[in-house]
Structure 1
Amino acid sequence: MRRSRLAVIDGLRLLAALAVLSFHYTVAWRIDGVRVPEYFLPTTVHVTVYGLLGVELFFLISGFVICMSSWGRTLGQFFASRVSRLFPAYWAAVVITGVVAMAYPLSGGVTDGDRPRPIDLLVNLTMLQQPLGHGAIDGVYWTLFVELKFYLIMALMLARGLTYRRVVLLCAVWMTVAVLVPTLNNPALNALTISEYAPYFIGGIALYLIHRFGPAPLLLAITGFAWLVCLARVNDRMSDIRSGFPVPAWPGMVIVTLSFAALLMVALGFTDRVQWRWLTVAGALTYPLYLLHSRLGHTLIRAVHEHSTVPVWVTIATTTALMMGLAWLVHRHVEQPLARPVRDLVLTPPRPRDQDRITARVFVPPQPRRVNETPRDVMTR
């Protein structure tokens, strides 16, 4: 198994985050609250609309990386690594975004007229706001709940131990379920099995197995089948976008194909020599950038648009740079300092009660003195 860091995956993560950011800043909302995005960026939006598929690339990478980081670990180690990786930056993002959202509400948001309540902020800190019936402080958080369900599936596998045969069986069974469940018209079962995005996770898992064990025909077949299922669903995914203009599906199919091809190149080892340091930095910024960019960026873009004559594209470019700077600050001053303490807190069991320091006070009544017994006899009985 190759031991070098897969730096190209860090670059792909940043590419996915910037793609989603470009979609959110240019297509997913109305910059002035009234006019459609095409009014401000008539050419750009026809390209950036496909940035939505950065989410799919995230899920594909997640299948690869989570399987890789889980191999050889115990369930407790896996749980601790996920908590320490996800929550520090997420807590910072929820607090920062929540405060800004309460101070400067935008149209079309969470709850209570788009001004989140303090209880919404507190519930969001758990990352379980969706099943608990509270609105998300930022719309991008929906993907985190999808990831949590994937982690649960991997945790069930870890409880028995990861082996090649078990993971291949997981891919086969999960793919079958993901294809069949949508035909049952059961939303709860759909949500539980993550049927909409399961092919991306499965494709990523199969690609990691290729990276670890080599390109066996069965693994290539699983990857190819996952890719075909993803292609079949791209049209539905793109048709869900309320962009205000026609969105052809074929560029989305090309993007999904390139995503699988890029990760296949990583799995086969063709990118092992790429070890540029900036890619590692890019990978570190990706998660906080994804968490912070949407609501904060929209607020800043709207404020600049309402109070200045700066061109929209300049505002968007400047906002992107500022969000990357904020992501670095969160990584440097929140993620890095808190990751180890949080992991240790999760892994360290509670200290057992020190029984030696607990002395029971038992009352022993005095015994009567016997006949012809001396005081010394009493003390020695």
Structure 2
Amino acid sequence: MHKEASPSSRVVELDALRGIAALAVVAFHYTTQYGQQYGHTTPLGFGFPPGNYGVNLFFLISGFVIFMTLERTRTAMDFVVSRFSRLYPAYWAAMALTAIFVYLLGMPEQRLSLRDLLLNLTMVQQILGGEHLDGSYWTLQVELFFYAQMLLWFALGQLKRIHLIILLWLGLAMGYGEVVQHRMHFSYLARELLILRHIPFFALGILFYRLHTRPQENRLNCAMMGLCLVAIGVANPPVFLWVGLACCGIFLLFVNNLLAWLRGAFFVFLGSISYSLYLLHQAIGFALIHDLERQGVPSLLACLLTLAIVLALASALTFVVERPAMRKIRSWWRANGLQLKSA
């Protein structure tokens, strides 16, 4: 194992990986999914199906980062405020921008009822029976349910038993997979709340964090990574096993400090806007591509112009809303949290 990188450089590299994964998802949506769902007026002649699996890399990154964060967190409310400030202000602003675009330029099927729009404010609209304003929002619910599970274990003081917790997760995931393979009924609510199809990816991220910080556990962590891959293969279609292996390969490079080139300025910037880019790209992008193609712009140029517009919007959202709101909320909590908790 190479010398451990500093915490700050580690976060920079993970943010850069998020940015690359977000760009891969954008490429998939603008080429492959748009072509399948609506059809480009002039076929592109290519697509990027692997970009669909960028979200699985997100899940590994979240597992790594959330466990690292909780190890440094004093109280449950500190974690709640941290996650709220990171997620919701940018999300609500992105929702407003997306609604403006889809109601002015979008296709009829993109426009939701007022009820569904209001449900989208929660970020868990799918479990509440609502439709997503942007198709990419489904992963946010998955992330929130992972945070909730981790917060519960943290509040119970059980994160020191994380290997047993992961074994429980993997057992449930494999049980779900076996039930589905035998065409038996499995509770939708239990599957979604426990994120059984995705929890092995989060577990891999946690195990890579342990591998990186606790070399004395290497054999145990490597063995459990193998179990995670088995669970992925049982709980998901076969392609996800290859996705899991690819994500593990990327993280092996990362924990061995072989991704230092991701600290370059371009990747740092891409990482900094990755959340806003993910929030804004799909519904707005589809509306823009459709409108540009309708005006006679060639499909490839329409995709490139849309990408440029969405990158500009994501940059504005990051530096005008996301970062200032996060700083203000966290500063307020640091100044007032102790008084509120003792009140």
The structure where helix makes up a greater share of residues is 2
1:350 offset after TM fit, Å?
A: 9.5
Confirm or deny: 8 A CA contact 2:273 2:315 kept in the other structure: yes
- 1:299 aligned to which of 287, 290, 293: 287
Amino acid at match of 2:271: G
Match of 2:200? 199
Aligned length: 326
Partner of 1:28: helix, strand, or coil? helix
Gaps of 5+ in 2: 180-184
**Alpha-carbon spacing, 1:329–1:261, altered in 2? closer, same or farther (3 Å):** same
**Alpha-carbon spacing, 1:67–1:124, altered in 2? closer, same or farther (3 Å):** same
Task: After TM superposition, list the pairs within 5 Å mapping 1:223-372 onto structure 2.
Answer: 223-231=225-233, 235=237, 249=239, 254-271=242-259, 275-308=263-296, 310-345=297-332, 348-349=336-337
Match of 1:212? 213
Task: After TM superposition, list the pairs within 5 Å mapping 1:86-235 onto structure 2.
Answer: 86-109=87-110, 115-161=111-157, 163=159, 165-184=160-179, 185-186=185-186, 187-214=188-215, 216-231=218-233, 235=237
1:256 offset after TM fit, Å?
A: 3.6
**Greater relative contact order (Cα < 8 A, sep 6+):** 2
1:341 offset after TM fit, Å?
A: 2.1
Match of 2:43? 40
CA deviations 1:25-58 (Å, max 9, x no partner) are 112234894x4x697123x12xx11211111111
Gaps of 5+ in 1: 110-114, 237-248, 353-381
Identity %: 32
Amino acid at match of 1:129: Q
The structure that has the greater radius of gyration is 1
Match of 2:61? 61
Normalised TM-score (structure 2): 0.86
Q: Matched residues in 2 for 1:346 and 1:121: separation?
A: 29
The CA RMSD measured in Å over matched residues stands at 2.6
**Alpha-carbon spacing, 1:213–1:269, altered in 2? closer, same or farther (3 Å):** farther
Partner of 1:27: helix, strand, or coil? helix
Match of 2:182? none
Query: Once structures 1 and 2 are overlaid, which stretch shifts more, 326-335 or 312-321?
Result: 312-321
1:128 offset after TM fit, Å?
A: 2.7
Confirm or deny: 8 A CA contact 1:2 1:212 kept in the other structure: no
Match of 1:370? none
1:118 offset after TM fit, Å?
A: 3.6
**Alpha-carbon spacing, 1:66–1:169, altered in 2? closer, same or farther (3 Å):** same
Q: Matched residues in 2 for 1:273 and 1:82: separation?
A: 28
**Alpha-carbon spacing, 1:234–1:131, altered in 2? closer, same or farther (3 Å):** closer
Amino acid at match of 1:188: L
Query: Once structures 1 and 2 are overlaid, which stretch shifts more, 175-184 or 51-60?
Result: 175-184
Confirm or deny: 8 A CA contact 2:200 2:232 kept in the other structure: yes
Amino acid at match of 1:181: Y
**Alpha-carbon spacing, 1:38–1:158, altered in 2? closer, same or farther (3 Å):** farther
